[in-house]
């Protein structure tokens, strides 16, 4: 067994790390830990079953439930075996997606009685603007960051458990407290939590920020998935927490509203999620008029 285990988010970042020349084994964690059913900390069997169902639905069936369940079970077995490594290095971005994953892994390590880990949280890199994640970097650029890692402190382990509990229970009040912190032990958490709060449904429109940005892009004339993605990315505040799967899901939800706000045309009635035989370049998305939604967006009528 290699004496170092590198844990990161995203297959792209994991592949780049494997080519960086840094010694050790690279393990990529997969899950959307800022939403969906789960218990805080180490998951119960019922939690894994519920998450497999949730992720199958989130990807519109693009990921099979049994495949998801096997993936989840395997990664927790891998984490349980992490005590056999001399060094555990956590590579994460400052975005919502990665921060929710980071605090969960730290909470699980604490549960397992593994007291030592090293952390590299990357919020920027010289010359990469806008910086949205480790997947933008080249292997040698990743290697240049390795010396910046720091041991995870006891305060950070304790704080991670609190934040993971908030994500697991979707505790709005706790998130408002976390967003207001100015001296958080994990300093990227307040901004990540603030972005989570922005995804909560608006009382007037029922939409979060990403869904609203997608609708704005479509209404402005963007009709292809690629054009919508580029417009939403330009309007988003870095680092962006979402990838294609999340954005396509938001567009699908716009088409599924009653009444629908957009029409999806192409090989299927929904944009393909994850690994699909459908070509997303063949899809077109058009905005539909919805006077009731427009009135709620602009109640003054001006």
Ranges of each domain in the chain? 4-198, 209-297
CATH code of the domain occupying 4-198: 3.40.50
pLDDT tens digits for range 198-255: 999 999 999 999 999 999 999 999 999 999 999 999 999 899 999 888 999 999 999 9
- pLDDT value for 300: 46
Tell me which residue of 212, 224, 288 sits closest to 255, measured CA to CA.
288
Cα–Cα nearest to 36, from 26, 48, 28, 21: 48
Query: Which CATH code for domain 209-297?
Result: 1.10.10
User: Is the pTM above the cut of 0.85?
Assistant: yes
Report yes or no: 82 and 89 within 8 Å, Cβ to Cβ. Answer: no
Q: What is the distance of C-alpha 301 from the center of its chain? A: 36
**Residues composing the chain:** 302
Residue 196 and residue 78: Cα distance in Å, rounded? 28
Alpha helix (H) residue ranges in 81-153:
96-112, 139-145
| pLDDT at residue 290 greater than cutoff 90 | no
- Average pLDDT score over the chain: 92
């Amino acid at each position: 067994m290699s004496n170092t285990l590198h844990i990161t988010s995203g297959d792209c970042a994991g592949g780049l790390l494997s080519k960086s020349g840094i010694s050790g084994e690279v393990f990529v964690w997969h899950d959307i830990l800022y939403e969906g059913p789960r218990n805080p900390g180490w998951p119960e069997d019922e939690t894994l079953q519920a998450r497999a169902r949730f992720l199958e639905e989130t990807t519109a069936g693009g990921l099979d439930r049994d495949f998801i369940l096997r993936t989840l079970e395997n990664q927790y077995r891998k984490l349980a075996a992490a005590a056999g490594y001399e060094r555990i290095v956590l590579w994460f971005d400052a975005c919502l997606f990665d921060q929710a994953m980071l605090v969960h892994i730290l909470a699980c390590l604490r549960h397992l009685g593994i007291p030592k880990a090293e952390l590299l949280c990357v919020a920027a890199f010289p010359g990469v603007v806008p910086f949205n994640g480790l997947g933008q970097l080249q292997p040698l650029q990743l290697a240049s960051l390795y010396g910046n890692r720091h041991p995870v402190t006891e305060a950070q382990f304790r704080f991670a458990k609190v934040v993971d509990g908030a994500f697991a229970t979707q505790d709005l009040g706790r998130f408002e407290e976390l967003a207001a912190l100015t001296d958080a032990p994990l300093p990227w958490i307040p901004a990540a939590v603030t972005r989570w709060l922005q995804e909560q449904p608006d009382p007037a429109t029922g939409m979060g920020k990403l869904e609203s940005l997608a609708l704005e892009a479509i209404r402005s004339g963007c009709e292809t998935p690629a054009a919508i993605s580029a417009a939403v990315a330009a309007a988003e505040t870095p680092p962006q927490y979402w990838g294609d799967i999340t954005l396509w899901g938001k567009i699908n939800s716009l088409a599924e509203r009653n009444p629908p706000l957009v029409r999806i045309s192409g090989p299927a009635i929904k944009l393909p999620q994850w690994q699909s035989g459908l070509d997303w370049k063949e899809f077109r998305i058009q905005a539909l008029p919805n006077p009731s939604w427009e009135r709620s967006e602009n109640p003054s009528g001006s």
